[in-house]
Amino acid sequence: MQPSLEKLRKFFRLEHSNRYADKAVIGGLANILNFWEGEARQDGLPEEIIQDVAQTLKDYASQTPETRAEALKALWKRIQQAVPEAVAETAKKTRPSKALVETTVAPVSPSEESGDETAVKPSAPAVSSPAFSKGKDSVTKRPIALNASLTVLSGVGPKNAAMLARLGLRTLGDMLYHFPRRYEDYTTLKPIRELRFGEQVTVIGTVSFTEARKTRDGKTHIFEVVIQDGTGGLRLTFFNQPWLINRIKSGDAIAVSGKIEQYLGRLVMNSPEWEPIEMENLVTNRIVPVYPLTQNVTQKWMRRLMHQVVTYWAPKLTDHLPEEIRQAAGVVDLGTALLQIHWPETQEQIRQARQRLAFDEIFLLQVGVLRQRRQWQDAPGRVFEAEPSWLAARLEALPFALTGAQQRALDAILQDLRSGKPMNRLLQGDVGSGKTIVAALVAALVAHHGAQSAVMAPTSILAEQHYRTFLNLLTGERGPLLPEQVRLLVGDTPEQEKEEIRAGLESGDIKIVLGTHALLEEPVVFADLQFIVVDEQHRFGVEQRAALRAKGAHPHCLVMTATPIPRSLALTLYGDLDLTILDELPPGRQPIPTYLLRPQERERAYSLIRSQVRAGHQAYIVYPLIEESEHSDLLAATQEHERLQQEVFPDLRIGLLHGRMRPADKEEVMRAFRDREFDILVSTTVVEVGVDVPNATVMLIEGANRFGLAQLHQLRGRVGRGAAQSFCLLIPEREDVTENERLQAMVETNDGFVLAERDLQQRGPGEFLGIRQAGFVSSLKMASLSDTALIETARRQAITLFERDPELQAPENRLLAEALARFWRGGRGDIS
As a whole number of angstroms, the distance between CA 266 and CA 294 comes to 34
- Does the pLDDT value for residue 268 go beyond 60? yes
Residues 390/448, Cβ–Cβ less than 8 Å: yes
State the average pLDDT over residues 569-589: 75
**b/e 234-250 (16+ beta carbons within 10 angstroms → b):** bebebeeeeebeeebee
Number of C-alpha atoms within 13 angstroms, CB side, residue 180?
A: 23
Give the residue with greater pLDDT, 625 vs 493.
Answer: 493
State the average pLDDT over residues 95-100: 32
What pLDDT score was predicted for residue 756?
A: 75
State the average pLDDT over residues 387-400: 91
pLDDT in tens, 457-481: 988 878 888 998 999 999 988 789 9
- Does the pLDDT value for residue 113 go beyond 50? no
- Does the pLDDT value for residue 501 go beyond 50? yes
SS3 at position 142? strand
Residues 6 or more apart whose Cβ sits within 8 Å of residue 791: 362, 366, 568, 571, 572, 785
pLDDT in tens, 631-659: 454 567 888 899 999 999 999 999 998 87
**b/e 648-683 (16+ beta carbons within 10 angstroms → b):** bbeebbbbbbbeebeeeebbebbeebbeeebbbbbb
Dmax (CA) of the chain: 103
pLDDT in tens, 503-516: 999 999 999 999 99
- Does the pLDDT value for residue 760 go beyond 80? no
End-to-end, the C-alpha distance of the chain in Å comes to 61
- Does the pLDDT value for residue 615 go beyond 80? yes
Residues 451/528, Cβ–Cβ less than 8 Å: yes
What pLDDT score was predicted for residue 764?
A: 61
State the average pLDDT over residues 212-229: 88
**Measured on CA atoms in the order 269, 273, 274, 279, is the torsion positive or negative?**
negative
Question: Average pLDDT, whole number, for the chain?
Answer: 81
- Does the pLDDT value for residue 353 go beyond 70? yes
- Does the pLDDT value for residue 696 go beyond 80? yes
State the average pLDDT over residues 680-687: 85
What pLDDT score was predicted for residue 486?
A: 96
What pLDDT score was predicted for residue 110?
A: 27
Q: Cα–Cα distances in Å, from 617 out to 185, 283, 697? A: 59, 71, 6
Which of the residue ranges 473-487, 729-743, 792-806 would you say has the lowest mean pLDDT? Answer: 729-743
pLDDT bin (cut points 50, 70, 90) of residue 356 is very high
**Top-ranked range on mean pLDDT: pick from 60-74, 176-190, 389-403:** 389-403
Give the residue with greater pLDDT, 783 vs 417.
Answer: 417
- Does the pLDDT value for residue 630 go beyond 60? no
Give the residue with greater pLDDT, 324 vs 92.
Answer: 324
State the average pLDDT over residues 716-730: 89
State the average pLDDT over residues 29-52: 79
- Does the pLDDT value for residue 102 go beyond 50? no
What pLDDT score was predicted for residue 44?
A: 80
As a whole number of angstroms, the distance between CA 723 and CA 726 comes to 9
Q: What percent of the chain has pLDDT over 90?
A: 32
What pLDDT score was predicted for residue 737?
A: 55
pLDDT bin (cut points 50, 70, 90) of residue 238 is very high
What pLDDT score was predicted for residue 751?
A: 80
Q: Cα–Cα distances in Å, from 605 out to 2, 643, 657, 731? A: 90, 15, 20, 9
Q: Are strands 141-143 and 132-134 parallel, antiparallel or unpaired?
A: antiparallel
What pLDDT score was predicted for residue 698?
A: 96
Residues 6 or more apart whose Cβ sits within 8 Å of residue 729: 594, 595, 597, 605, 608, 698, 699, 700, 701
As a whole number of angstroms, the distance between CA 615 and CA 714 comes to 25
State the average pLDDT over residues 562-585: 74
State the average pLDDT over residues 420-443: 89
As a whole number of angstroms, the distance between CA 182 and CA 372 comes to 35
Strand partners, 212: 223
Q: Are strands 654-657 and 618-622 parallel, antiparallel or unpaired?
A: unpaired
Q: Are strands 424-429 and 512-515 parallel, antiparallel or unpaired?
A: unpaired
- Does the pLDDT value for residue 618 go beyond 60? yes
Q: Identity (one letter) of the amino acid at 357?
A: L
- Does the pLDDT value for residue 87 go beyond 70? no
Q: How many Cβ atoms sit within 10 Å of the Cβ of residue 149?
A: 16
Q: How many Cβ atoms sit within 10 Å of the Cβ of residue 544?
A: 17
**Top-ranked range on mean pLDDT: pick from 4-8, 680-684, 751-755:** 680-684
- Does the pLDDT value for residue 112 go beyond 60? no
Give the residue with greater pLDDT, 739 vs 743.
Answer: 743
What pLDDT score was predicted for residue 575?
A: 67
What pLDDT score was predicted for residue 416?
A: 94
What pLDDT score was predicted for residue 21?
A: 85
As a whole number of angstroms, the distance between CA 120 and CA 69 comes to 10
What pLDDT score was predicted for residue 127?
A: 32
As a whole number of angstroms, the distance between CA 20 and CA 69 comes to 6
Interaxial angle between packed helices 65-82 and 3-17, expressed in degrees from 0 to 180 and rounded to the nearest 10: 160
State the average pLDDT over residues 28-48: 79
Number of C-alpha atoms within 13 angstroms, CB side, residue 33?
A: 17
